Amino acid sequence: MRKVNWKKSLLVTAAVIVTAVLGGCQSQGTSQTGETAKNTEKSQGSGGETGSVEWPTKTLQLICPFAAGGDSDANARWAAQYLTEEMGVDVVVVNMDGNGGAVGARAARDAANDGGTALISSSAFITNELSGAIDFGLADFEFSCIVAENPGNIVCVNKDLGVTDFQGLIDYSKENPGKLKLAYNTGATTHAIALQIIDAGVDATLVDAGASSDRIAALLGGHVDIIINSYGSVKDYLASGDFIGLGLTGTTNAENIPDYTCLKEQGFNVAFPTYFFIAFPKGTDPALAETVAASMKNIVENNEEYAAAIKEAYMQSPVFYGGEEGRKLLDESKETIVQYTSQFQIQ
């Protein structure tokens, strides 16, 4: 199989992004111009056998509501790369960062339902909804599928803090009340996990430190004491000893990260799965959403190059949930943090 360096796909200029956004966010029901691309694959999707579906636009834009460089962006670009190969349709990523994912989610919701635009987001969509950052939910989209799952963010502290495990963090915080600063991103998954950490007994002040790379810089610079980041984004700092990992925030231990146990398994109620999903604007032909789901299912289950890429970068294992099953998992995730709704809104 042709070797593709996925990191090269991150080098998208701002001008291209702006052009793509302006081209994709047309008025409802307006088709884009260009050659018609056809999916000739016939496979089993979330809603059954999709058959040959003629794609009505030249390009499918995946709006990623986060900046380039994190695991949300990486999963969006993997999806775009392999969907392009699988479907024979040009699939591109448009990054629209802002307000913990709310800006991009709204742009995707309001885009034309002509098959030219879809949202590829994470479980942050749930916290966006509960926090009031968005006034809509998954019911306002044509859901396609869950395409990936983060094996769990990892709770990290600076080595200089002298803490080596989560119980030690709780003990330290009680001995030094009001001293610790816990970084999060308002309305994102780290917001939910941060609130769970506080509930688990850690005495800390919440500090909105921005996106993944910003939180890393804040911890390195001593501006915060605790961060919650994807393992892939901090693995080099863990290896060097600059950061100390206290545990993962997934619901089960991660097969590709054997050195760290999830906090739930350690006996702490800190667990919020991060799923990555694709959904189209409401009113999009369901057959298109099913075609994408069928294609992603084949990629996830059969493409060894894809599996190797996600493992190398973020220690992920291939995961796919189509249609109703995917929606159910996201709804169950929402139920685990709905108790924090008022706290999301006042932070």
Any idea what the CATH number is for the domain that residue 58 is in?
3.40.190.150
Instruction: Judge whether 253 lies within some domain.
Output: no
**Contact of 191 with 347, CB cutoff 8 Å:** yes
Q: Residue 187: its pLDDT value, please? A: 76
**Based on the domain organization, do 86 and 228 belong to the same domain?**
no
Q: Residue 54: its pLDDT value, please? A: 74
Q: Residue 178: its pLDDT value, please? A: 94
Instruction: Judge whether 70 lies within some domain.
Output: yes
Instruction: Judge whether 139 lies within some domain.
Output: yes
Instruction: Judge whether 261 lies within some domain.
Output: no
CATH number at residue 200: 3.40.190.10
pTM metric for this prediction: 0.76
Q: Phi and psi of 189, rounded to 5°? A: -60, -35
**Based on the domain organization, do 239 and 292 belong to the same domain?**
no
What is the residue range of 162's domain?
153-248
**Based on the domain organization, do 39 and 120 belong to the same domain?**
yes
Instruction: Judge whether 19 lies within some domain.
Output: yes
Q: Residue 75: its pLDDT value, please? A: 97
Q: Are strands 274-281 and 117-122 parallel, antiparallel or unpaired?
A: antiparallel
**Based on the domain organization, do 11 and 47 belong to the same domain?**
yes
Instruction: Judge whether 258 lies within some domain.
Output: no
For the stretch 309-321, pLDDT in tens is 999 999 999 999 9
Instruction: Judge whether 213 lies within some domain.
Output: yes
Q: Residue 26: its pLDDT value, please? A: 37
Q: Residue 152: its pLDDT value, please? A: 81
**Based on the domain organization, do 67 and 130 belong to the same domain?**
yes
Q: Residue 30: its pLDDT value, please? A: 30
Q: Residue 346: its pLDDT value, please? A: 56
Q: Residue 53: its pLDDT value, please? A: 61
**Based on the domain organization, do 182 and 170 belong to the same domain?**
yes
**Based on the domain organization, do 210 and 302 belong to the same domain?**
no
Strands in 204-208's sheet, in edge-to-edge order, are 204-208, 180-184, 226-230, 153-158, 243-248
Q: Residue 248: its pLDDT value, please? A: 97
**Based on the domain organization, do 184 and 324 belong to the same domain?**
no
Q: Residue 64: its pLDDT value, please? A: 98
**Residue ranges of the chain with pLDDT lower than 50?**
1-52, 347
**Based on the domain organization, do 141 and 283 belong to the same domain?**
yes
Number of domains composing the chain:
2
Instruction: Judge whether 102 lies within some domain.
Output: yes
**Based on the domain organization, do 143 and 197 belong to the same domain?**
no
Please, is 306 exposed, middle or buried when counting C-beta atoms within 10 Å of its C-beta (0-12, 13-18, 19+)? buried
**Based on the domain organization, do 280 and 143 belong to the same domain?**
yes
**Based on the domain organization, do 182 and 299 belong to the same domain?**
no
